[in-house]
Amino acid sequence: MFAFSYYFRKQPNMACADSEVDLEKIPLVALNMTVRKKLGLYLNPKHTVAADWMALAEAMGFTYLEIKNYEVSKNPTGMVLEDWQARTTEASVGKLLSVLSELDRKDIVEDLRHLINEDVRKYCDNLKKKAEPPLQVPEVDSCVPRTPERSGITVDDDPEGVPEMFDAFICYCQSDFAFVHEMIRELEQTDYKLKLCVFDRDVLPGSCVWTITSELIEKRCKRMVVVISDEYLDSDDCDFQTKFALSLCPGARSKRLIPVIYKRMTKPFPSILRFLTICDYTRPCTQAWFWTRLAKALSLP
C-alpha cells in the first residue's frame, strides 16, 4: 500500500494524534476544491494508456451503470469523489492515495503531494482548535452555552434536568417556512404526535448558531428532514446542516437524513443527496401517502 504521511505534534483523541498522521483516518472531506479540481484535470480526459476517472470509479466500487451516468458530467472525477465520501466510511485521503497508486497513477500523487499535505495539515489544525476550550472568561463567552451539557438552549429545556429531545431536526430556508408550518400541523398536531425541532421556534437566542445547530442535530434529534428547493441550494446554513448530518451517517445506514421536495425545482437536485430515498410532495399520484410515509420514517427507533 502506498505510504503518504505528514508530521504533527501529538494531540489526544484525534485522527492526527500520532507524530505521523494516519491518512486512513483522515476523511476525504479534508481535501479542498483546489485539489479536487486538479484531480479532475488529470483524470477527466480519456486516456488510452493511463488510468482515468472510470478506472478510479471502478476501483472505488461503483457499478457499470453508475459509471455510465457520470459520463454526462463536466467533471466526473468530482462527482465520483463526492458520491464516494457520501456512501462509505472508507472514503479517506489514505484510501484515495492507495487507489491511485494501485492504478499506477503515482504521478498524480507526487504532483499534488504538497497540496494534499497542506489540506491535511489544515484539517488537523482545525480538529485541534475544536478540541481546545475557548480562551474566554465565562462572563464574556457568547459562543458556548453556560449551562451544563449544553442544556438551556431550547424553549422547553430544563437547565437542571434532562435536555429536550426531538424526533427530527428540520433543515429549511426562510422562503420555505410556509411548508414548515404545514409540516408542524401534519406531524405534531395530529395522531402522529411527533416532536420537530424548528430552529426559529424552538431555539433560544443568544448562542453561537453553529455550536447549537451541531448539538441539536448530533445529540438531540433522531433524524433530520431536509426541505429541498431552489432557495435551499443557495443557503449556507442549509449546506452546513446537511453536510454535518451526512458526516454522522455515511452511506445513510441509520436513515438519519430524509430529503423532502414540496414544490417544483428549476435547479438540479443536490448531487450529495442523490443516493437517498426522497419524499416527494410534487407528485399528485403519491401525495396521499406523503405524510404517512414521512411520519413512519420519523417514528423509527
Q: What is the mean pLDDT of residues 200-215?
A: 90
Orientation of helix 76-87 relative to helix 33-43, angle to 10°: 120
Task: Give start and end residues of each alpha helix (H) in 71-208.
Answer: 76-87, 93-102, 106-131, 177-187, 199-202
Grid cell digits, residue 254:
441509520
Q: So where are the chain's domains? A: 23-131, 166-299
Ramachandran assignment for 61, one of left (phi > 0), alpha (psi -120 to 50 degrees), beta (any other): left
Degrees to nearest 5, angle at CA 292 with 291 and 293:
90
Please state the pTM of the whole predicted model.
Answer: 0.53
For 36-81, write each residue's pLDDT tens digit. Answer: 999 999 999 887 688 999 999 999 999 998 899 888 888 899 889 9
How does the average pLDDT of the chain come out, rounded?
84
pLDDT of residue 146: 43
Number of Cβ atoms within 10 Å of the Cβ of 154 = 20
pLDDT of residue 207: 80
pLDDT at 140 over 50: no
Distance CA 137, CA 223 (A): 35
pLDDT at 16 over 80: no
Grid cell digits, residue 253:
445506514
Q: What is the mean pLDDT of residues 164-171?
A: 95
CATH architecture under which domain 166-299 falls: 3-Layer(aba) Sandwich (3.40)
pLDDT band of residue 128 (cuts 50, 70, 90) is confident
User: Torsion angle, CA of 212/214/218/219, rounded to 10 degrees?
Assistant: -20
List the one residue out of 62, 90, 88, 94 whose CA is nearest residue 77: 62
Distance CA 99, CA 267 (A): 33
Higher pLDDT residue, 70 or 169?
Answer: 169
- 23-131 belongs to CATH 1.10.533.10: yes
List the one residue out of 111, 118, 128, 123 whose CA is nearest residue 50: 111
Distance CA 42, CA 47 (A): 10
HEC string of 206-228 equals CCCHHHHHHHHHHHHEEEEEEEE
For 70-122, write each residue's pLDDT tens digit. Answer: 888 888 998 899 888 888 878 899 999 999 999 999 999 999 999 999 989 88
Distance CA 276, CA 254 (A): 12
pLDDT of residue 249: 73
pLDDT of residue 116: 93
